Amino acid sequence: MSATSEHDSSPVVGPPGGKRIYLDSAASAPLRPEALEAMMPFLTTAYANPSAHHSAGRDASDALEGAREDVAAILNTSPEEVIFTSGGTESINEAIKGVAMAQSEAGVGRHIVTTEIEHHAVLHSAQYLERFGFEVELLPVDEYGRVSPEAAAAAVRSDTVLVSIGYANNEVGTVQPLAEITRAVREAATALGRRVPIHTDAVQVANTHSLDVDALGVDLLSLSGHKFGGPKGTGVLHLRRGVPFLELISGGGQERQRRSGTENVPGVVGMATALRLAQDERESFSARTSALRDRLLDGVRHACPEARINGHPTERLPHSLHACFSNLEGEALVAALDARGIEASAGAACTSATWEPSHVLLAMGVPIDLAVGSLRLGIWPSLTEAQVDYVAQVLPAAVTECRAAAVASRQLPV
């Protein structure tokens, strides 16, 4: 592996080639050149509103519907079941609030099942609904962050209106046995004479896993464009035909009355292009990033053998590595690595501005003194072996520096 004793004795002169090392792809991936190329006409000359009743408007509408057909083919669904949104957060909010409110209005019930380790877009949407009388049940996870299909099935009641379980965790990268979970939930619901809608946050998996909604057994699926090489501000919600739904954004009736607002044609076209490429390249992406991740994992273990590696040992995203270090604060470690030319994160980018232990790690049983010292490394195929080795080389000094600072400020015990 990379971090040999010879490396340890070498002076650190900065990242290879003087180029900063990006290890935060779980937060945002680089825009694919092909996506940008597909977007350019609609950012420059083909700028008409797709609802306009003239030739330029029809051209924009044709591009929009072509992208919808492409996305539908990837999801193994019909174009009518694809809703374009502003991103993963909106797609999740629409799914959870829209389905729950529609069924509450119909008198079906107000019970929602999700897990302790969901993205805050899921948890905060569920908490929002509690203000309107909904009951939210949080399923526990094991030490690796996995949900038991049996526990999910046991939580289903006659008044359950939605089950929402993420495909893969955005912090530790653990992949759920989603098809097994949905099958167990379906059987439990059928025994009660019900069909309970099932939603999955699939934001982290488009580069590595199939998104076939029938094979997964889900009724709703959320995606975010910038996680797989599309532009920011774009997202997808799959909504199976027949699932009760109350639109959250009203106005001009776009997206078949389910999400009003003038469509982001260039963004949608770029996102659909990136999604197609990401799904076509799943095998090569996984092979490349898993090899880099294993090299990086070996380096971290060699450099800091006391580090705790989090997530499932095998059922995990190939481009994700998450570790905890004792007696330091994760944000300080991120800053120390940033000063050394390495861009990483201490957790989910949406919440990393606040100093608090990860709810995901605490749910997995990670002690709080370790949970506050977390580091998330997201790998992209363009990363090189030399860059991986550099990270392992400078990590011990960064950890030592942060521990000394924490002790000096009396934030953490010696």
Which pLDDT tens digit goes with each residue over 76-110?
999 999 999 999 999 999 999 999 999 999 999 99
SS3 224: strand
Give the integer Cα–Cα distance in Å for 295 and 407: 31
pLDDT at 408: 83
Do 195 and 103 form a contact (C-beta atoms < 8 A)?
no
Q: What DSSP string describes 243-303?
A: -----SS-SS-TTTTTS-S---HHHHHHHHHHHHHHHHTHHHHHHHHHHHHHHHHHHHHHH
Tell me the domains of the chain and their CATH numbers.
5-23+282-408 (3.90.1150.10), 33-280 (3.40.640.10)
Side chain identity at residue 60, one-letter code: A
Q: Which residues are catalytic?
A: 350
pLDDT(2) > 60: no
pLDDT at 14: 84
CA-nearest of 146, 144, 138, 132 to 163 is 138
Give the integer Cα–Cα distance in Å for 235 and 230: 9
Give the integer Cα–Cα distance in Å for 359 and 376: 14
Strands 235-239, 82-85: parallel, antiparallel or unpaired by DSSP? antiparallel
Token pair of 318, please? 């190939």
CA-nearest of 84, 69, 36, 24 to 227 is 24
SS3 307: coil
Do 104 and 161 form a contact (C-beta atoms < 8 A)?
yes
Alpha helix ranges (H) inside 84-177: 88-105, 120-130, 149-155
pLDDT at 50: 97
pLDDT in tens, 130-169: 999 999 999 999 999 999 999 999 999 999 999 999 999 9
**Mean pLDDT along residues 260-288:** 98
Task: Provide the Cα torsion 264, 250, 221, 77; round to 10°.
Answer: -80
Do 64 and 268 form a contact (C-beta atoms < 8 A)?
yes
CA distances from 390 to 150, 249, 326, 401 (A): 44, 48, 22, 17
DSSP secondary structure code for residue 176 in this structure: P
Between 11-15, 115-119, 278-282, the lowest mean confidence (pLDDT) is in 11-15
**Mean pLDDT along residues 57-79:** 98
Do 159 and 108 form a contact (C-beta atoms < 8 A)?
yes
What percentage of the chain carries pLDDT values higher than 70?
A: 94
| Share in percent of the chain as helix, strand, coil (round to 5) | 45, 15, 45
pLDDT at 347: 75
pLDDT(412) > 60: no
Do 269 and 63 form a contact (C-beta atoms < 8 A)?
yes
